[in-house]
Every structure is written in structure tokens, then in C-alpha cells.
Amino acid sequence: MGAEQRRAEILRLATDRGPAGVAELAERFGVTASTIRRDLARLSGTGRLARTYGGAMAVPESSLRQRGGEAAEAKRSIAGWAAGRIEPGTSVLLDAGSTVAQVARLLPAGLGVTVTTASIPVIGQLHGRGDVATICLGGRVRALSDAFVGPLTEAALERLSFDVAFLGADGVTSDSGLCEAEPEQTRLKELMARRSRQVYVLAHAAKLNHRPFHAWARLDRPWTLVTDVGAPDEVVAEFRAGGVEVVVVPSGRP
């Protein structure tokens, strides 16, 4: 069996049967564990599989472009509030995600800020703006999120610090933190939070207490959840009871 045929079969197994382990796949196909890890890395890079500890799972995750139209009004409101919190001359970290990308689009002119990001859409929004110094974090491009991840991205972050960070997430809970499809994403978010003085997590109401995947980022310092008026009162109260500051943004912002 050739490599492409083997990868197609790995994808089919992960889709039909759920998470697949490296050892199990190596035995099934009669190849080494390192060969399977390379296969999984290749499939993960195309966005068709999510790496897990010891294996992989099929990705039910939609792409950033597919998610762009979801909760459009709520995202604009949240992003407008966030952009208004950015002070002149500060060092700002913008994470990946459609809501965070709108923060870059709504960033007021003339602030003289430095923006660091691993998000390709954010880079596109800020390219050519003379009033913004943009630092791009390189690494492996994760196709589904249109962003850089991996050891090179993490190494660059370790050498920087930020006044404020705006993070996105596929799901947010008061007890487990931020949910994403892959451990590389959650590890990066934890590092972003540790390197920032203030941390805001931008998540519209549908993402609260949403647990679509099995990779989690735990934020070990105070952080603020910024959500919209669609968030149920009891859910907001749950986050506040867990020690999270919550900002509920009214609708109708830019």
C-alpha cells in the first residue's frame, strides 16, 4: 500500500471509528510508528485530522472562512468593544479567529501600537497601515484556522511580552478554560496568556460552555471573558462565580 492510499485509509478509519492510536495504526498497516506519525502530521497539516495524545481523530471542525458568517452581529459588537480598549503606544497580541480578526479591522487610526499575531487574516488587515508596527509569528500554517502554530511560533512568543492579548476559542467553560481542536493550539494560547499583562477572551454566546473538542488551554492568571447579550444570565453568573471577570457587550457596536 502506497503512502497516499494508507493516509486515505487512516482518514477513513478515524472518521468511521473515532480516535485512532499510533501503535494500532502501525500494526494494522505493517509500518513503523514514526511512519504513522508522519502520516498523521501530513493529514493534520491539511486540516483533515486533529492530532491527539498518542494518535489522531477526524476533524468535525469548520474552517475560519466557513465560520466567518456565524453570529456576525455579536462578533462585530465584541470586536468593536475590544478595539476600543486598545490604548495608544501599547503592545498588542491578536490571536487567531474570526472575531479577533475583526479587532484588527476596527483598530482606530493613529494609536501608534505594535501588534503581534500568528493570524494570516490579521496580517492582511494590518498590511500597509503606517500607524501600526506589525510583528508576524511564523511557524506551520494550520489551514483550518488560517494561522501559524507549532514550535517556531512558540519560540518567537517566548521572546516577547505584551500589554494586552485578545484570544479566541472554539469553546469556553468556567472550569476547563479554552477549547480547541488540537493541543498545539491550546499550548499556544496558554503561552500567549502568560506573556501578556491583560488577557481578554472574545467569545460570542454560542461558544460559552461549548465543548466541541478535547484539547484545552487553562489560563493560570486572571482573564476577562467578553461576550454578547445573547449569553444567558445563569451562564454569565457561572463564569463570575468561577472568578472570571465577564463583560457583556450591548448590540449595535461597529
β-strands 215-217, 177-180 pairing: antiparallel
Average pLDDT of span 204-233: 92
Average pLDDT of span 125-138: 96
Specify the pLDDT at position 214.
76
Residue-wise pLDDT for 89-118, tens only, equals: 999 999 999 999 999 999 999 999 999 999
What is the dotted CATH code of the domain comprising 3-58? 1.10.10.10
Q: Give 244 or 44, the one with higher predicted confidence.
A: 244
Q: Which of the 8 DSSP states describes residue 210?
A: -
Q: How many other C-beta atoms are found inside a 10 Å radius of the C-beta of residue 34?
A: 10
Here the cell at position 178 is 479554552
What is the dotted CATH code of the domain comprising 66-249? 3.40.50.1360
Specify the pLDDT at position 63.
47
Report domain extents, the chain. Answer: 3-58, 66-249
Which range of 9-13, 38-42, 151-155 scores highest in mean pLDDT? It is: 151-155
In this predicted structure, the answer to whether residue 254 has a pLDDT above a threshold of 70 is: no
What is the C-alpha separation between 131 and 238, in angstroms, rounded? 40
**DSSP structure string for 147-183:** EEESHHHHHHHTT--EEEEEE--SEEETTTEEEESSH
Q: What is the pTM of this model?
A: 0.77
Residue-wise pLDDT for 18-33, tens only, equals: 667 888 889 989 999 9
In this predicted structure, the answer to whether residue 71 has a pLDDT above a threshold of 80 is: no
In this predicted structure, the answer to whether residue 10 has a pLDDT above a threshold of 80 is: yes
